[in-house]
Structure 1
Amino acid sequence: MNRRTLLAALPIVAMPGLALAQARDPRRLRVALLPDENASTLIQNAQPLKAHLERVLSREIELVVTTDYSSMIEAMRFGRIEVAYFGPFSYVLAKSRAPGIEPFAVGIERGSPTYQSVIVATADGPVKALGDVRGRPFGFGDQASTSSHLIPRALLLTRAQLKGGDDYRPVHLGTHDAVARAVQNGQVPAGALSKAILDVLFERGTVDRAKVVEITLSDPIPNYPMVMQGNLADPLKAAIRDAFLNLRDPAVLGAFRVQGFAPTTDAAYDILRETARVLELDLGRMRG
């Protein structure tokens, strides 16, 4: 069999890199939103973002909300999305599987590129302090979530010497809003989520302030990064970067719960890799 015949006989699935290489300057960009809330709500709130990107990039924009963090990581890994708004830890997991992806912008809140995790409890429930979590179920979001899993898990370990599985029962509920509702309804006596998301849920009336109490806040966490495929054409990468760094429209920024974006690099997320090491997590084996 000569070389030309051999190449023709190879199945397409055996050459994923070829498809990616030919899509360096696509006319349609798939932009993934972190699935930390209800998908329809995320898509609806991001319509101003879609219009903004279509205008400044002169390309068709498809908004994507995957079923969970793991599927979003895999979509980025295999080139099924070009741009993604990752959680900090889900980005670290994605980077461990797809070294070529590039973080380029980070959300700014109250003048800082950081946010916080909050541990909450049912207002009339048995948990009044971190130590009260011992022997009880505790609500986390997705396993790859920063503020709804990694950071609160570290808080329970370092501040209350509570190890998941030994001292309390981890219950993964998927999204931040699911954690807040489960705590509100007493399905779990305590749980953790992003403080920014909790505030939005209070403002919307999705969660009753009278039924959920805040137990403790984490130290500042590097905020959610915008990430792009590293194999995109350089002019397109520059245009995408500028589209976010120059963004000033509150209607568009509202989809991200931030006041603006600033440049960032991979090194900004080393603190999360260190946290994972303290928790003895194997990034290579974590679901995602």
Structure 2
Amino acid sequence: MPAMTRLFATAALSALIALPAGAFQLDPRFTDADGDLIADIPEDESAWLDPATLVFAYTPVEDPAVYVDVWQEFLDHLSEATGKPVQFFPVQSNAAQLEAMRAGRLHIAAINTGGNPIAVACAGFRPFAMMAAEDGSFGYEMEIITHPGSGIEELADLRGRTLAFTSETSNSGFKAPQALLEAEFDLVLDRDFSAAFSGGHDNSILGVANADYDAAAIANSVLTRMVARGVVSRDDLVTIYTSDTFPTSGYGTVHNLHPDLQDAIREAFFSFDWEGTALQAEFGAQGETQFIPITFEEHWSVIRQIDAAMGVTYTCN
């Protein structure tokens, strides 16, 4: 299983742009001849995957069952574009998603923001798209939330309390808040506050709303969707910190999928008509109405810099 080794942040997030990104490396089983930081498609055609059924997984940030119907119209479009049936794979964890891709059982995926580097480095993930608004703007913010009556009114009040994170591969659910809290507010995990790991943004949000957690670091895009669906009331939550904007989940394919399939899948993302679909109903609540082209090298630069500041390295076993 891919494992992540972390050290603490040593620089403020506002200064991360000056940090080198050269430390990012792919697992030795991949090549990157063109230097774009993602795995090349194998030259040996015998290494190409050409499955009878394509498998798609959405990032496991919320109840996977909710998204079977949300994605169905898009998957039908994807099936028409590729000439193959497409199956929705309701993954329960980031680790399960990466393992499925490494094993060749997952071909197309949405990988959460913080998980993109490890998916690229260890699973041969080739991201090419991201959701965006009609004007091309994109992104979400990390929020630290608490509940009314918690006694936490500002970040300093987290001292001696428990902060819920999602998982160690999550950007807004762990890496960014840990870096920010230590570098900018001198709040150090295990010294000034303790951590709980909920396993997902929805779990963290519901845990705070029900006062199971003192506070939590979450992606506000998930919160927006949960409020829109009536899963949680905004009145049960108080935001005490909002970050700068980060890129959203990256959509892409496994590196050794047949090149013709990769081309057809890419085209399907950009030709999908969102109007009147369940996808529009779900993600339109947070202003996302289309897929736009992205590159891991450019759009995930700030995430790699956060990893570098935290001393994150990946061991792909």
- TM-score, normalized by length of structure 1? 0.86
Partner of 1:263: 293
Q: Distance in 2 between matches of 1:63 and 1:21?
A: 26
Listed one character per residue, the Cα deviations across residues 167-223 of structure 1 (whole Å, up to 9, x for unaligned) are: 211111011111011111111111021111111111222112211011121111122
1:106 positional shift: 1.4
Asked if 1:127 corresponds to 2:158, the answer is no
Q: Is the 8 A contact 1:73 1:90 kept in 2?
A: no
Partner of 1:12: none
Asked if 1:101 corresponds to 2:125, the answer is yes
Q: Describe how 1:1-288 pairs up with structure 2 within 5 A.
A: 21=46, 24-98=49-123, 100-109=124-133, 111-250=136-275, 251=277, 253-254=279-280, 258-267=288-297, 268-284=299-315
**Secondary structure at 1:157 match in 2:** helix
Q: Distance in 2 between matches of 1:282 and 1:164?
A: 19
Deviates more, 1:259-268 or 1:45-54: 45-54
Listed one character per residue, the Cα deviations across residues 75-99 of structure 1 (whole Å, up to 9, x for unaligned) are: 112211011100121111111213x
**Secondary structure at 1:24 match in 2:** coil
Deviates more, 1:256-265 or 1:268-277: 256-265
Against the structure 1 CA distance between its residues 283 and 218, is the aligned structure 2 distance closer, same or farther, given a 3 Å change threshold? farther
Against the structure 1 CA distance between its residues 166 and 85, is the aligned structure 2 distance closer, same or farther, given a 3 Å change threshold? same
1:256 positional shift: 5.3
Partner of 1:9: none
Question: Which has a greater percent of helix?
Answer: 1
**Secondary structure at 2:115 match in 1:** helix
Q: Distance in 2 between matches of 1:21 and 1:45?
A: 35
Which of 1 and 2 has higher RCO (CA within 8 Å, sep 6+)?
A: 2
Q: Distance in 1 between matches of 2:98 and 2:190?
A: 26
Backbone CA RMSD of aligned residues: 2.1
Listed one character per residue, the Cα deviations across residues 108-138 of structure 1 (whole Å, up to 9, x for unaligned) are: 1363132211111112212111111111100
**Secondary structure at 2:313 match in 1:** coil
Q: Which has the larger radius of gyration?
A: 1
**Secondary structure at 1:37 match in 2:** coil
The total of aligned residue pairs comes to: 267
Q: Is the 8 A contact 2:209 2:237 kept in 1?
A: yes
Listed one character per residue, the Cα deviations across residues 30-61 of structure 1 (whole Å, up to 9, x for unaligned) are: 01111100121122322222222222322101
Q: Distance in 2 between matches of 1:42 and 1:183?
A: 23
Same amino acid, percent of matched pairs: 27
Q: Is the 8 A contact 2:59 2:249 kept in 1?
A: no
Q: Distance in 1 between matches of 2:112 and 2:68?
A: 17
Deviates more, 1:107-116 or 1:83-92: 107-116
Q: Distance in 1 between matches of 2:105 and 2:245?
A: 32
**Secondary structure at 1:216 match in 2:** strand
Amino acid at match of 2:130: V
Against the structure 1 CA distance between its residues 252 and 202, is the aligned structure 2 distance closer, same or farther, given a 3 Å change threshold? closer
- TM-score, normalized by length of structure 2? 0.78
